[in-house]
Amino acid sequence: MSVAAIAREFGVAENTARYWVDDSWTERQKQMSHSWIERNRERARANVASWNERHPEYKSEYYDKNRERLVRGAGERNRNNPARFKACVNRSHRRNKAFMLRYFRAHGCSVCGERDATVLCCHHRDPNDKAAEVSRLLQNRSIERLIEEIEKCDVLCFNCHVRLHRRLERQQRRETRVRLEAEAAAEKQKKNAAIEAPLLDSALCDAGP
């Protein structure tokens, strides 16, 4: 397949397609490409997002096949550009924090209706579905990843959150006590049966035919 055909297939410029397939691409050309992305960051992101929407299977398949290399490359870039990495994290944190403030104000506490975002938090309905703390995802994760996690949660104010956890703890202690008592009763019954069995056999032998 020619460079022009690749460019048409993926909806990119021929220079971009050539960058993908041409091993002789010079360092100067790479720098020119990177500088264009720096000057047109929003346009580049829009192009990538559009392509990912049209080819979701390729994005997932490519990442699965090259995950180790991509993660290693990202780590190297972050170590080589600590200032840029810190700026990206801060930008993501501000964006995610603003999103969560809007989300809290729109939903409010599911118990008492409190809408002050400064006293609201997310409570996972099922702890087994919890992939990460929402507060940790605020640091540098995407909005999509954040939404995926908060859909597993109920919005609660701090007071209702504490009350809920205290109630769950009491319920768990009660269930544990009932289970231990049932296990102790079963063990006691088993021991009594082990003691009574020889006595019953001996009584039957003494009675004779």
- Tell me the pLDDT of the chain averaged across its residues: 78
Alpha carbon 61 to its chain centroid, in Å, reads: 19
Query: For residue 166, is pLDDT > 80?
Result: yes
What is the torsion angle, in degrees rounded to the nearest 10, for the CA atoms of residue 93, residue 95, residue 164 and residue 107?
Answer: 170
Tell me which of 131 and 6 has the higher pLDDT. Answer: 131
Q: How confident is the model at residue 109 (pLDDT cuts 50, 70, 90)?
A: very high
- Global pTM reads 0.53
Q: Is 146 exposed, middle or buried (0-12, 13-18, 19+ CB in 10 A)?
A: buried
Range with the poorest average pLDDT among 8-22, 50-64, 170-184: 8-22
Q: What is the crossing angle of helices 14-21 and 27-39, to 10°?
A: 130
pLDDT (0 to 100) of residue 193: 76
Tell how far CA 25 is from the center of its chain: 38
pLDDT at residue 6 above 90? no
Amino acid at 77: R
Q: For position 155, what pLDDT does the model report?
A: 93
pLDDT value at position 159?
94
> Is residue 14 scored above 80 in pLDDT?
no
Percentage with pLDDT > 90 across the chain:
13
Give me the pLDDT at residue 66, please: 79
What is the 3-class SS of 123-171, one letter each residue? Answer: EECCHHHCCCCHHHHCCCCCHHHHHHHHCCEEEEEHHHHHHHHHHHHHH
CA 50 to chain centre: 24
Q: Is the pLDDT confidence value at 33 over 70?
A: no
Is the pLDDT score of 41 beyond 80? no
Please tell me the predicted confidence (pLDDT) of residue 18. 65
